[in-house]
Homo-oligomer: A and B are copies of this chain.
């Protein structure tokens, strides 16, 4: 029976993989069992956030050494999805997902955490935000679900990382006669997130629209969304990397993943919903013992486009000094960390078409063994 383990590890800087290296050296992690890494690095989360590339390079060299693979082969085997930006109380950390074969009876009666991963082909700059990218992501999500034996209704969270377009890439595309949707790097990052979310919605059967119809709604009709999609983007990635997380009765272990929808950035009830899914309660904060059960927290969110939250003006979208994504990550990070009593929260901005317009979603992974 396949079993998922999740290690939540800290780093001293974006190139610091020493915590994982130590686990591997101690035999606590077997490198071949690592199926995915999701992390939060301390960059700006924008186009020129090189902390993601630095971490990825460091991780892949480590895996390369332990797997006997080239760095390129390691990159093609283990999806590594990073979100830059540890604003406010957020703490730089990464989750290492390991899958092993366990024997014997399932330790708990509930379905437990299952993981599947897949990659698309490289996405050229001119496909970013277009139907081609949507369909490629959908196909990868289906492949990852099949790998994990998960049905759409079992899925709780799908993480995708897609490629953005730098000015240089847009120039190169234009030079070969291709027409990217935009040459503005920040807009390209938004488009790749929209396409990723639509790909997830397509694969999970959350929409009846076609990829063409969906593409026409990218960054314009935000009612079309997937409440289980979390999409990151970066200029250092070339293809779309997909990690599907859900609960399966066919998997072993004691971990489960809970899910909540956040209707806006003040929706603390959504956080409680995700915890409730796991039988955990914050009153008003998780107890230290329950906080210790938590293995990973994954949040997506965005500033409300109306410029208002519950009737009151916010200033995130009119700020030339601090990018709106940095603002919203800091605010949501403060709220979620306060409820959980721990700043090791993956909060990713840019939630276009991921959860309700102006809101987002949250997933929590915890060891619920004792609770059953």
Measured CB to CB, the residues of A under 8 A from B are: 10, 12-15, 42-51, 53-54, 57-58, 61, 86-93, 166-168, 171, 183, 185-186, 235-236, 265-269, 271-272, 282, 284-285, 305-307, 309-310, 312-323, 326-328, 330-335, 337-339, 341-344
* Complex: A152 Cα to B89 Cα, angstroms: 34
When all copies of this chain in the complex are counted, the total is: 4
**Which residue of B has the minimal Cβ distance to A51?**
B50
Query: Per DSSP, are chain A's interface residues mostly helix, strand or loop, or mixed?
Result: loop
- Say how far A106's CB is from chain B's closest CB, in angstroms: 32
Contact A284 B312 (CB under 8 A): no
Q: Which of B42, B88, B333 contacts A48 (CB 8 A)?
A: B42
Residues of B within 8 A of A47 (CB): 318-320
* Complex: A15 Cα to B272 Cα, angstroms: 39
Which 6 A-B pairs give the minimum distances between C-beta atoms? A46-B320, A88-B331, A331-B334, A330-B330, A334-B334, A167-B307
Q: Which of B14, B58, B330, B335 contacts A327 (CB 8 A)?
A: B330
Contact B50 A89 (CB under 8 A): no
Q: Which of B14, B86, B331 contacts A333 (CB 8 A)?
A: B331
* Complex: A10 Cα to B310 Cα, angstroms: 13
- Say how far A223's CB is from chain B's closest CB, in angstroms: 16
Residues of B within 8 A of A168 (CB): 12, 307, 313
* Complex: A328 Cα to B333 Cα, angstroms: 11
